[in-house]
């Protein structure tokens, strides 16, 4: 197996289609370049945070050129965010602080992105105070979705002889495979960064807040409903 394939096998899957086909090809090659260097996964996490915060400085000015430059930096920061875990799994270099640092850095980045975008927009549109409500609603939804992602339900035990349960499992797995091709199927982190890329590139800041808030809140209902269904059917 080639080194690139070994690194690719270390990528966390299943994942959203944007991360799988847009960001992972870049992060895997980044890990390939860094695999024999002294750079650690935690250092990559911190550098990702630094790049994102630097990009948010551009967002906060509200000036179109600065916002685009900031967008490039923020999207690159997500490539590094993908790479830290891949490098850790490739090297089997895990630490108790690594997972904590990754989670804390992600939450800081989310707040910085939404705050700086809203601040930069209202600098040039001082009467658009409603943007703050949409930005905070979007952040609330993202934080709640992340909380859901940390919860692991133990499926209900169902007798293996139950033909109906077996059929239910099979149908659910088929639906999952098809669902993996649907954009924004769970609004996980890669889908959020892709939405940021598209909306900000087209200077649709307010529409971005609307989109994230609405889709995020819908997913805050959808995800627990799916978990409840899986639990009731004994699906892992």
Q: Of 179, 173, 178, 187, give the one whose Cα is nearest residue 230.
A: 173
Residue 185 burial by Cβ neighbours in a 10 Å radius (0-12, 13-18, 19+): middle
Q: How many contiguous H segments (helices) and E segments (strands) does the chain have?
A: 10, 0
Q: Quick one: average pLDDT of 95-115?
A: 94
Give the CATH number for residue 117: 1.20.120.1760
The residue range of the domain holding 125 is 3-233
31-89 per-position pLDDT tens digit: 999 999 999 999 999 999 999 999 999 999 999 999 999 999 999 999 999 999 999 99
Between CA 2 and CA 11 the distance in angstroms is: 15
Number of domains in the chain: 1
Lowest mean pLDDT among 112-126, 163-177, 183-197, 211-225: 163-177
Say what the pTM is.
0.88
Q: Quick one: average pLDDT of 136-140?
A: 97
């Amino acid at each position: 197996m080639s080194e690139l394939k070994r690194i690719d096998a270390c990528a966390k899957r299943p994942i959203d289609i944007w991360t799988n086909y847009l960001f992972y090809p870049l992060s895997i090659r980044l890990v390939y370049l860094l695999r024999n260097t002294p750079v650690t996964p935690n250092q990559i996490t911190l550098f990702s945070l630094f790049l994102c915060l630097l990009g948010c400085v551009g967002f906060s000015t509200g000036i179109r050129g600065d916002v685009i430059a900031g967008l490039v930096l923020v999207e690159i920061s997500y490539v590094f965010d993908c790479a830290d875990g891949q490098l850790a799994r490739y090297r089997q270099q895990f630490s108790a602080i690594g997972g904590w640092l990754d989670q804390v850095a992600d939450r800081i980045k989310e707040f910085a992105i939404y705050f700086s975008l809203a601040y930069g927009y209202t600098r040039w549109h001082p009467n658009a105070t409603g943007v703050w409500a949409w930005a905070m609603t979007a952040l609330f939804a993202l934080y709640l979705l992340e909380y859901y992602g940390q919860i692991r339900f133990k499926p209900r035990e169902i007798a293996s002889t139950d033909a109906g349960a077996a059929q239910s499992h099979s149908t659910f797995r088929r639906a999952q495979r098809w669902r993996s091709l649907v954009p924004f199927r769970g609004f996980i982190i890669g889908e959020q960064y892709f939405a940021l890329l598209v909306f900000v590139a087209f200077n649709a800041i307010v529409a971005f807040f609307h989109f994230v808030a609405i889709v995020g809140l819908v997913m805050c209902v959808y995800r627990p409903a799916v978990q409840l269904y899986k639990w009731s059917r004994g699906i892992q």
